[in-house]
């Protein structure tokens, strides 16, 4: 599906690949455009260097248009962030990105994956539900925004077999 999608909209081939240190500036850019508190280039460099983190990039043609990042501990992992460039959202790219990322986590011996998502973030919640995640809890006032607004998070879990 990825091939036809990418050809239709971008004229290139879509690929999910391990991110490298050279991707840090672009990943920081994508993150800053997607989240209230962006992660710096050096934060990405640290993640790309640490052995307990796994970062995949989604590339269409020569352009990186998304990423998924997780932190692993023993046989568990937490998805830290998934983002797709605004220009490429709503086209189903995130599903392949996430499934490939989960497959690599499984390959590293991860058996359970957790994540927190803002309760009203429908595209993200739909993405995770479709990838087999189920609600495992709720965290009240988990996200703090400028202006004092606080948002709840839903904790989701998926076991990998
Ligand atoms: C979350 C995100 C990665 C999803 O990427 P995407 O390209 O928009 O996702 P998709 O096109 O694959 O759509 C995902 C699902 O959400 C649904 N969806 C998309 N926009 C929606 C909306 N506004 N309301 C409800 N559902 C929506 C899609 O229909 C799809 O569901 P389906 O598979 O049942 O059809 C992307 O929106 C993003 O980067 N958001 C900002 C960062 C973020 O919130 N990350 C997740 C938290 S870590």
Report in angstroms the alpha-carbon separations of 12 from 6, 30, 62, 95: 6, 19, 8, 18
Q: Tokens for 50, please give them.
A: 């640490």
Structural domain range at position 34: 2-114
pLDDT digits (tens, 9 = 90+) for 96-140: 999 999 999 999 999 999 999 999 999 999 999 999 999 999 999
C-alpha 54 to ligand 1 mean position (Å):
21
- Kindly state whether residue 64 falls inside one of the protein's structural domains: yes
Q: What average pLDDT does the structure give for the chain?
A: 92
- The closest alpha carbon to 60, from 35, 101, 24, 96, belongs to 96
Pocket of ligand 1 contains residue 90 by CB under 6 Å: yes
Q: Strands 112-118 and 76-84: what pairing?
A: parallel
Please give the pLDDT value at position 90. Answer: 92
- Kindly state whether residue 55 falls inside one of the protein's structural domains: yes
C-alpha 94 to ligand 1 mean position (Å):
7
- Kindly state whether residue 140 falls inside one of the protein's structural domains: no
Residue 5 has pLDDT above 70, yes or no: no
Instruction: Find where tokens 């539900």 sit.
Output: 129
Pocket of ligand 1 contains residue 130 by CB under 6 Å: yes
- Kindly state whether residue 39 falls inside one of the protein's structural domains: yes
Domain count, the chain: 1
- Kindly state whether residue 7 falls inside one of the protein's structural domains: yes
Pocket of ligand 1 contains residue 137 by CB under 6 Å: no
- Kindly state whether residue 159 falls inside one of the protein's structural domains: no
Counting atoms of ligand 1 from 1, which one is nearest the CA of 125? 16
- Kindly state whether residue 127 falls inside one of the protein's structural domains: no
Whole-number Å distance between alpha carbons of 114 and 79: 6
- Kindly state whether residue 131 falls inside one of the protein's structural domains: no
pLDDT digits (tens, 9 = 90+) for 48-105: 999 999 999 999 999 999 999 999 999 999 999 999 999 999 999 999 999 999 999 9
């Amino acid at each position: 599906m990825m091939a036809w999608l990418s050809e239709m909209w971008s004229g290139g081939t879509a690929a999910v690949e391990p991110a490298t240190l050279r991707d840090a500036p672009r990943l920081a850019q994508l993150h800053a455009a997607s989240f209230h508190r962006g992660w710096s280039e050096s934060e990405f460099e640290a993640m790309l260097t640490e052995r307990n983190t796994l970062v995949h990039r989604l590339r269409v043609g020569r352009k990186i248009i998304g990423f998924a990042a997780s932190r692993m501990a023993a046989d568990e992992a937490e998805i830290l962030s998934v983002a797709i460039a605004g220009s490429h959202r709503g086209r189903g790219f995130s599903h392949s990105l996430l499934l490939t990322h989960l497959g690599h986590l499984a390959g590293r011996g991860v058996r359970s994956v957790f994540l927190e998502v803002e309760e009203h973030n429908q595209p993200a919640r739909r993405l995770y539900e479709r990838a087999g995640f189920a609600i495992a809890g709720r965290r009240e006032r988990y996200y703090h925004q400028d202006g004092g607004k606080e948002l709840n998070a839903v904790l989701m879990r998926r076991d990998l077999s």
